[in-house]
Amino acid sequence: MTNLFIDGATGRKMSGTATPARFLFNRDLVTPEKEQSEEPEAVAEPTITVREHQELIALAEERGRQRGLGEGRNEVADQEVCRVAEEAARLTDAAQKLLQGLDSEQARIEKDAVGLAFLAARRFAAHLIAREPLAEVVALLSECLAPLRRQPHVVVRVNEKDSDRLKKAVDGLVYEKGFEGRLVILGEPELERGDCRIEWADGGLLRDRKALEKQIEASVRRYFAVRETARNASEDAVASSDTAGA
């Protein structure tokens, strides 16, 4: 006897002697069976070989080493720059001190040279005056008599040892300069030889060698004082500039 049954999965009529399959309540009759049996495929994880892994590790180590070397070189370069800057500052300071020392030494040498020259000139002048005590007096009179030729009288005072000699020396000078007045020569014991005093109605002249030496000495001192002040001001300006730059 042939049995007729319906396939629960496909819904088709089947005939035969096979035992009909039982109805499965958990089967989805709407979705095809092929689609129900398919499961999502697992995503394969990426893999590399041992050699590739070792190469990547070696590359990372090399990059780290190069980075370390670069940072080390930068640090050494920074230290070298700082060292060079400190050395340059030290050399600059040493040069400034050396220049200041040279300036001080030059100023001392100049003072000594001027002092020596002044001493030599003073002694030389004293020696010349001892030999020719009236030479400067006659030269001064030669300059004065022409402008004073219309004065009624002019008095010349010199050391008493030289008054007679001066009278003889100025006779031709009075005529040469056209002096029209009276020239009186007097000897004074308090006047040094080589000094003189020339007097007229409304004025006079004095030649005093010692006073002249004091004036020259004072002028030299003022000159070096001004030089010293200017040098100190320049050093202070440089120091202030260095402090501001630091």
Residue 246 is predicted with a pLDDT of 56
Place of tokens 């004095």: 206
Rounded CA-CA distance 218/221 in Å is 5
pTM of the model: 0.50
Q: What is the pLDDT of residue 185?
A: 93
pLDDT in tens, 16-52: 554 555 545 555 555 555 444 455 555 556 677 878 7
**pLDDT computed for residue 82 by the predictor:** 83
pLDDT at 155: 94
pLDDT < 50 regions, the chain: 1-2, 5, 8-9, 18, 23, 34-37
pLDDT value of residue 183: 92
pLDDT value at residue 204:
92
132-207: CATH topology: hypothetical protein PF0899 fold (3.30.2320)
Would you list the domain boundaries of the chain?
132-207
